[in-house]
Structure 1
Amino acid sequence: MRSRLPLLLFALPALVLYGGFFLLPAVQGLRYATTDWDGYSATFQSVGLANLTDVVSDDDLFRNALTNNLKFLLVVVLGQTALALLLAVLLAVRNRGTTWLRALFFLPTVLSSVSVAFIWKFVYDPNFGLANALLRAVGLDHYQSAFLGDEGTAILWVAVAQIWFHAGQMMVIYIAGINQIPDELYDAAKTDGAGRWQQFRHVTWPMVAPATALVIAYTTLQSFKAFDLILGLAGNPPRSGLDVLATRIYATFANSQLGYAAAESIVFMVAIALVTFLQNRAARMVHG
């Protein structure tokens, strides 16, 4: 035990920080979720599970935010994973050209969310934006859109911006996974007469399963945390079509309903845990 004491002492600062900045606030959040505290009053009343019950069953605003978040999540996970894998397959061979292209596709990742929001606000502007200008230039005027002004599809256009923002980052993870695949497997596949698609399907795709699991998990967390990007694109507070769980909780907190916001946060965490569990099960089924 004495020999392990110095090792425990090295871990102590990290444990103190983790306890002070994560565990303690989490416990306090659970406590406040059962109260009507407004965030600044010296006293508050216990309401039991009323806040959680209201969030789950009676809160249309929270339900709308959850629906928007799931739409956003689905588009981003599918689109970003597919695009990152495609880029990685095309750019896995290292030469001067692919090195520059990797850097180009990775560049958006180093930008701040606010910068990305300003870029895409210019792209999506219905009157002076780049997207509608390009459509007019090629004679596709009937495809012009209000983009963020369309309540039905606004969250999907934000998802496109999110994919552009982080696809390059996920591409790097896939390139690392592809570079770990032994060349002998591809040589054997070629000997058996496998084409490029068959090589991808039977060699590349199964062998990048760990990278895919990492990409999906990280992309899921990004999708639930796209708070600053959405506020940058939609303003504060965002309209109904762009309201997601993070912005809904923030709005509740800003309205001096800290107890109710804590209850929303608990449901938020449960939703993340459930989605992550289902993704892991689906990934094992696909690659198993």
Structure 2
Amino acid sequence: MSSTRSARKRRTARTLWLFPVPALALYLFFFAYPTVQAVQYALTDWDGYSATFHTVGLRNLTRLTAHDDVFRHAAENNLKLTLTVVLVQTALALLLALYLARTTRASTLLRAVFFLPTVLSSVSVAFVWRFVYDPDSGLLNSAARAVGWGSLQSVYLGDPSTAVFWLALTQVWFHAGQMTVVFIAGLQAIPRELYEAADLDGAGRWTRFRYVTWPLVAPATGIVVAYTTVQSFKAFDLVLGLGGNPPGPALDILSTRIYTTFSNDEFGYAAAQSLVFMALIALLTWVQRRTLRRA
């Protein structure tokens, strides 16, 4: 009987090893293999459709880092967008979560209201906010004229110095409710006994937040910051909806710049841009995690 039981356990163990195979196959086919191909194409001058191409070594990366001012400007726009969205959206989502953490009818309704924009498509959001920002008949300028604040009118997306920040505002409106839900889940996981102990010690609101809430909500904060960073780098459809195809220099970010390069039949160069894009996201995420661990 013992030998039969051992044989059955070995067969079960071998069977269990088969369960990860479908997921591993999908990962290798849709992520690992394309990544290896991107590295190969980044070292060539392939145009995307010719049967032949030449290996150019690191020429694409040299051109990218030393001579491509357009890509550098797109990277600057993306960093401005990311920094603004991460700071504003994280702070706003945390404030909303602190206000809505209690389970009441009003807070439940408000959670649904704030979460609603997240279920909309990016293109729909872009066209709605394109109307809001329209300098002639848009909601913001029309409201300013209606209340006699005509001096506050602006061209919004037409101003190269501020366009990326209006894009950031749209991004925050789009996803702040989603991040609020993440923070609410983190806040509700904090044991109530800790707050009761802080109250017995005479701690005020700020002290409770600084020494109880903030340290214990840090895992949720890490999720929000990392996800927001990736969202800001992948705001492709939102940018195209607001700025057109291709967007102007004021709204051009890395994802749209890579797309434009692909559209210009420079597949090898676009692959090199994609590798730098991936490396930049990985670096920023790593820096953010290290910073949040020390906070």
Decide: shared fold, TM above 0.5: yes
**Which residues of structure 2 form unaligned runs of 5+?**
1-9
The structure 2 residue matched to 1:170, chosen from 172, 179, 182, is 179
Cα distance in 2 between the residues matched to 1:189 and 1:13: 50
The structure 2 residue matched to 1:35, chosen from 44, 60, 72, is 44
Instruction: Establish whether residue 242 from structure 1 lines up as the match of residue 277 from structure 2.
Output: no
Moved runs in structure 1, 4+ residues, more than 3 A? none
Amino acid at match of 1:163: V
Cα distance in 2 between the residues matched to 1:2 and 1:260: 50
Instruction: Establish whether residue 12 from structure 1 lines up as the match of residue 38 from structure 2.
Output: no
How far off its partner does 1:168 sit?
0.4
1:197 counterpart residue number: 206
Identity of aligned residues (%): 63
Q: Deviations over 1:149-194 (max 9, x none)?
A: 1011101100000000000000001000100111111112222222
1:144 counterpart residue number: 153
Instruction: Establish whether residue 75 from structure 1 lines up as the match of residue 74 from structure 2.
Output: no
Instruction: Establish whether residue 46 from structure 1 lines up as the match of residue 70 from structure 2.
Output: no
The structure 2 residue matched to 1:184, chosen from 189, 193, 203, is 193
Instruction: Establish whether residue 88 from structure 1 lines up as the match of residue 80 from structure 2.
Output: no
Which secondary structure does the structure 1 equivalent of 2:135 belong to? coil
Q: Which 10-residue stretch deviates more, 181-190 or 109-118? A: 181-190
Amino acid at match of 2:125: V
**Number of aligned residue pairs:** 286
The TM-score normalised by the length of structure 2 is 0.95
How far off its partner does 1:144 sit?
1.2
The 5 A counterparts of 1:218-237 are 218-237=227-246
Amino acid at match of 2:292: A
Cα distance in 2 between the residues matched to 1:90 and 1:139: 34
Cα distance in 2 between the residues matched to 1:5 and 1:54: 51
2:221 counterpart residue number: 212
1:60 counterpart residue number: 69
Amino acid at match of 1:178: L
Cα distance in 2 between the residues matched to 1:184 and 1:9: 45
**Which residues of structure 1 form unaligned runs of 5+?**
none
2:283 counterpart residue number: 274
How far off its partner does 1:2 sit?
4.3
Cα distance in 1 between the residues matched to 2:153 and 2:30: 47
Which secondary structure does the structure 2 equivalent of 1:4 belong to? helix
1:257 counterpart residue number: 266
Q: Deviations over 1:47-97 (max 9, x none)?
A: 000001111111001100000000000000001100100000000011111
Cα distance in 1 between the residues matched to 2:294 and 2:144: 41
The TM-score normalised by the length of structure 1 is 0.97
How far off its partner does 1:197 sit?
2.4
Cα distance in 2 between the residues matched to 1:236 and 1:83: 31
